[in-house]
Structure 1
Amino acid sequence: MAARERCMTNFKRLATPRYGKVPSDAAAVLVPVCNVGEKPSILYTVRATNLRTNNGEVSFPGGPIPQNESPIQTAVRETFQEIGLRPDKIDVWGHGPPLPGRNNKIMITPVVGSIDTLAPEDLNINVGEVAEVFTVPIELLCEPKNQYYTQFSNGFVLPVFVVEEYKIWGITAFITHAFLNSVLTNDVYKNEWTKKKIVIDNQ
């Protein structure tokens, strides 16, 4: 419990990257922390290729926030709609500050939630929205060989994680970094972006 409280205290103090005017549109995503084979892991989705935006990219489950919902309600509901993970399986820790999404078109609130033990039968993937669900052990995200960064044409720099065939980049990578930086000590998670190999994004 103490680690959880320390994590969320740090996460809520997250320095929000800013550029340009703050967009009015809002969304929320869930950062699903789970145990897979007794290894603490983070769950990600691969967006379906038929989607109009960010298709085929790695992301967290989530979506736009309606006027009648909180970021937590949206993140939990969208997670159920996208991958079938029931709300009663998710222990919500809280959320961080809104962060600017790609091209600064939307503000995204990251919600942290834990799943005690994730089993295949807990998931029911909506193939219209999600092409794949996968998990990455946190220990792999902490390995320097899997850490990179990308610099955009406007000079904006964000971390990147490359684990096996999966490239985690953009706001998803930044939220991943922020969570790891909040929950782990500096001797466990070290990520010095400027000393890493650049992964150029051509999109």
Structure 2
Amino acid sequence: MSDAASSPSPGRAEPERARDLPDWLLPLRDGVAEIQAEDLSGFVPPADPPPREGAVLVLFGDGPEGPDLLLTERAHTMRSQPGQVSFPGGSLDGDETAVEGALREAEEETGLDPERIEVFAELPRLWLPPRNFAVAPVLAYWRDPDPIGVVNTREVHAVFREPLDDLLDPAHRFSVRHPLGWAGPGWMIGPDKDVLLWGFTAGIISRLFDYVGWTRPWNTDDVRGLPDQHIEWHRVAKFLGIEVPEGEDFDPVAAGLVDEEDRPR
């Protein structure tokens, strides 16, 4: 592992900021004390070229339905990853630390008050290769939750406080297969369980649950295709070396990547 990947980033959270966490959260706090990037992802940030730096807030709280996790659904009109569920977060500004950036982005997206947030861990930076983006997950507890909601409709479509019991319930778990062949963890979330959680965010949640021993046995044979609205077909075409004429959309059926009757919607 390179020094850039293994060293904690500046501004790593001090433990004394969250000395009085609820009992249910202690296994997570203690479990991640020695966690490495490879325990969370197969992709570790390279030293060269230097990646763009970012952070996300992995915020746990005591909600009306018990312990929960804060998630957002990206606006459906965004050019990149429209409608994808994610943790609040984004790029760091200037010399901002991961903790500062994660709290700022969460406030801008959901309206939460950073003063109510107790950070208890900053995890190693993880890498999103397509965008050369290094992201530090910041783990925190929301002791006295304030009202939240969508602040910027250009970036956020919905905000969820997803109960941990629902995320741990085997009935809501499955795998999602991408058109390029790889598969990763997936959940249906939200009040009506009609919003797909997959990709980078689902991977962090799944690995964290596994690492601290929270995961319950679930049906790993339940593998579902990724719905069409979540697939960035132009990136798929570029990855496969397929030239798409300027101004035209990529047709995966015509390219032989999927059958029309099997294409998830």
Report TM bin, short chain. Answer: 0.7 to 0.9
* 1:142-153 → structure 2 map (5 Å cutoff): 142-153=168-179
Out of 123-132 and 2-11, give the one that drifted further: 2-11
Is 1:176–2:176 an aligned residue pair?
no
Q: Which residue of 2 aligns with 1:133?
A: 159
Question: Which amino acid is 1:198 matched to?
Answer: V
In the alignment, structure 2 segments of 5+ residues that lack a partner are: 1-20, 232-265
Q: Determine if contact 1:102/1:170 at 8 Å carries over to the other structure.
A: no
Q: Which residue of 2 aligns with 1:69?
A: 96
1:143: Cα distance to partner? 1.2
Q: Which residue of 1 aligns with 2:29?
A: 5
1:67: Cα distance to partner? 3.6
In the alignment, structure 1 segments of 5+ residues that lack a partner are: none
Cα distance in structure 1, aligned partners of 2:84 and 2:188 = 13
Between structures 1 and 2, the one with greater strand share: 1
Distance 1:199 1:118, change over 3 A: farther
Question: Which amino acid is 1:167 matched to?
Answer: L
Q: Determine if contact 1:45/1:61 at 8 Å carries over to the other structure.
A: yes
Q: CA RMSD in A?
A: 2.7
Q: Determine if contact 2:43/2:127 at 8 Å carries over to the other structure.
A: yes
Secondary structure of 2:210 counterpart:
helix
Q: Determine if contact 2:85/2:198 at 8 Å carries over to the other structure.
A: yes
Question: Which amino acid is 2:166 matched to?
Answer: L
The runs of 4+ residues in structure 1 deviating greater than 6 Å are 19-23
Q: Which residue of 2 aligns with 1:200?
A: 225
Q: Which residue of 2 aligns with 1:16?
A: 41
Secondary structure of 2:157 counterpart:
strand
Q: Which residue of 1 aligns with 2:78?
A: 51
Q: What TM-score, normalized to structure 2?
A: 0.66
Q: What TM-score, normalized to structure 1?
A: 0.84
Secondary structure of 2:165 counterpart:
helix
Q: Determine if contact 1:16/1:97 at 8 Å carries over to the other structure.
A: no
**Structure with the larger RCO, 1 or 2 (CA within 8 Å, 6+ apart):** 1
Q: Which residue of 2 aligns with 1:25?
A: 52
Aligned residues: 198
Q: Which has the larger radius of gyration?
A: 2
Q: Determine if contact 1:8/1:93 at 8 Å carries over to the other structure.
A: no
Residue-by-residue CA offset, 1:132-157 (whole Å, 9 max, x unaligned):
11111101111112111123344433
Cα distance in structure 2, aligned partners of 1:19 and 1:53 = 22
Question: Which amino acid is 1:172 matched to?
Answer: T
Residue-by-residue CA offset, 1:19-76 (whole Å, 9 max, x unaligned):
8967612221111111111500011111112322112111111001234011111101
Secondary structure of 2:223 counterpart:
coil
Secondary structure of 2:115 counterpart:
helix
Share of identical aligned residues, percent? Answer: 25
Cα distance in structure 2, aligned partners of 1:107 and 1:65 = 10
